[in-house]
Amino acid sequence: MTSPAGQALRPRLDALRELVGLSRARLDRRTLAEAGRVLEEAAARQRHSLDLTVVAIAGATGSGKSTLFNALARAQLSEAGVRRPTTAMPVSCAWTDRADGLLDRLGIPARARRQPVRPYDPTLSGLVLLDLPDHDSAATGHREQVDRLLGLVDAVIWVVDPEKYADAVLHERYLRPLAGYAEVTFVVLNQVDRLTGDAADQVLDDLRRLLDEDGLALGEHGEPGAAVLALSALTGAGVGELREALGLFAARRCAAEMRLTADVDGVSSRLRAAYVADGRPGLTEWARQEFEDRLAEAVGAQAAGLAAERAWRREAERACGSSWARLRMWCERRGKGAPGTAGDGAGDGEQTLVAGVPVPRRTASRPLVERAVRALAYEASAGLPGPWAQAVREAAGRGAEGLAEALDEIAASAAADMVAGAAAGARRPGGGGAGGRHGGGGRTGSWRTGAGHVAPEAEDSGRATLRRGRAAGAGASERPRWWRALATGQKTLLAVQLLGTAWFAGACVGELGGPWWGPGALMVGGAATAPVLGWGGRLAARGPARGFGLETERRLRSAAAVCGRARVLEPVVAELLRYREVRAQYVIAAGEV
């Protein structure tokens, strides 16, 4: 049956494994090396019996490790003496017959494997005890063996003596870095038989103080933590208490999982800076809207709308004005060149004439596009850990490549639409106020949260938006009926003027009779009514022209937004979603759920 510690450990290891896999493209190999080692060691330990408990006895030269090892085994299994160092290789003693696989993993040679006196002490069933070399040994390789085995065993008994219990090497190199392993740590003050009176209690209290300064939680008053004991391995005083504590510890059958949990806790704590952000990073609606507004400004959506409005009004004036006004405008156009060709300084290819009005051939402002991308990248990466902030900025930078050129294509397509729309009488302003300069600059389209990679056809997406707008307004692209009515009225007035002129000429030569004021009334009435009718047409054209301009601006704004989303916003959001996924795995691995 899996222990509660094992049940909690399994999802954390799975999350840590997933975390490492998702982070390889963002974090350097050195940052993830420790997590990889923990996963490898966990997998190796789980291949062996988790109900066995491997405990190492570690300490400095002369602390009495081997003597304590023999006292716990109740046999002379490890050489102990005054020669230093005495223990040249790790020695094991197993209260089980199933420890061979574990000892092979630990690298304990067969000649160093011992058995306790039979029958086995039932209180220590399942315990595998190791006597390690001195961690401060002058012999080459001893400290390397100690460091290697301390990373593999399930628990450690640190043996100190009254003279060296405050040794800086012990505390700074081992106890302080291993403070997170308090629940699988025993600290034993040996050789208390050398102390007189209450000196043992004073030394033990000072040892507890030092351990507390090291950050090692002490298991007192029923709280989990390191067990601190005083004994004499030589006389046997206190050894029974340690044997009982080890028996209870081994009987829980979860020491290996507790050790692995401490490993995961440690690596999660050290990886925290790479995954935990300050605050709640991400793109706000304001940042997204600001980006779209900047792109609309860069592509000249408002200016294009104003130009479209002027072109519509100009075309309405040409269609509904008096015949003499239309003749004058025709002469002006002939002087400037036909619509769609350069004229009046447009030889540089920077202007197009729409109904006689020069309309600039707009290109997206490069500085504004760059500023929009930088602002978006800054907002999206604010508060993110360094590697993920860099990934967001790189995604925005990749999307910015070619964005200005794509916006140029969209602006050119919008200009062509404006020319065609104005020449055809313009579209009716159905919904033209939305998203325009007078409509509050609202959002354009719905936001896609499932972002993908940078779309190389982003400019095609923008042009498709314009085409959909044209299809939606295809039925409204014909000349308004009132244009025809006014044009018919102007033609009628022209006919009246011509009739009056002919009558007047006939009266002058005596061919036609009648009152003298008759032809004059026709001529004056027709000449006076035509401008009034044209003025009424211009007045009536203001609303539709404004609607056409707003619709042009809205479509250009929407097309630029579609292009910006496909090229920049969606890749940035994809990186943010990847970070959130990794962050969720980190929370599980760190045990914060």
**Which comes out higher in pLDDT, residue 549 or 496?**
549
Distance separating alpha carbons of residues 249 and 326, to the nearest angstrom: 104
How much is the pLDDT for 329?
66
Q: Which of the four CATH numbers 1.10.10.10, 3.40.50.1820, 2.60.120.260, 3.40.50.300 does domain 52-252 have?
A: 3.40.50.300
Flag the least confident range among 132-141, 226-235, 275-284, 327-336: 327-336
Alpha helices, DSSP H only, in 478-569?
A: 481-508, 517-564
The pLDDT mean for the chain works out to 81
How much is the pLDDT for 361?
58
pLDDT tens-digit series, residues 114-173? 999 888 888 999 999 999 999 888 777 889 999 999 999 999 999 999 999 999 999 999
Structure tokens at 532: 């009034």
How much is the pLDDT for 479?
61
Residue with tokens 């003279």: 163
How much is the pLDDT for 94?
95
pLDDT mean over 397-402: 90
How much is the pLDDT for 448?
31
Categorize the per-residue pLDDT at 465 as very low, low, confident or very high, splitting at 50, 70 and 90. low
pLDDT mean over 175-200: 93
Instruction: List the beta bridge partners of residue 359.
Output: 352
Any idea where the domains of the chain sit in the sequence? Answer: 52-252, 285-481+544-589
Categorize the per-residue pLDDT at 438 as very low, low, confident or very high, splitting at 50, 70 and 90. very low
Is it the case that residue 105 has pLDDT exceeding 70? yes
Categorize the per-residue pLDDT at 81 as very low, low, confident or very high, splitting at 50, 70 and 90. low
Distance separating alpha carbons of residues 239 and 191, to the nearest angstrom: 11
How much is the pLDDT for 203?
95
CB neighbours of 198 closer than 8 A, spacing ≥ 6?
A: none
Instruction: Output 414-418 pairs: Cβ under 8 A, ≥24 positions apart.
Output: 414/304, 414/466, 414/552, 414/555, 414/556, 414/559, 415/304, 415/352, 415/359, 415/361, 415/362, 417/466, 417/469, 417/470, 417/552, 417/555, 418/304, 418/307, 418/308, 418/311, 418/354, 418/359, 418/552
pLDDT mean over 56-68: 93
Please indicate, yes or no, whether the overall pTM of this predicted structure exceeds 0.75: no
Structure tokens at 424: 């055809």
Categorize the per-residue pLDDT at 536 as very low, low, confident or very high, splitting at 50, 70 and 90. confident
How much is the pLDDT for 420?
59
Chain centre to alpha carbon of residue 262: 29
How much is the pLDDT for 255?
95
Flag the least confident range among 190-204, 217-231, 468-482, 540-554: 468-482
Residue with tokens 């291993």: 178
**Which comes out higher in pLDDT, residue 330 or 478?**
330
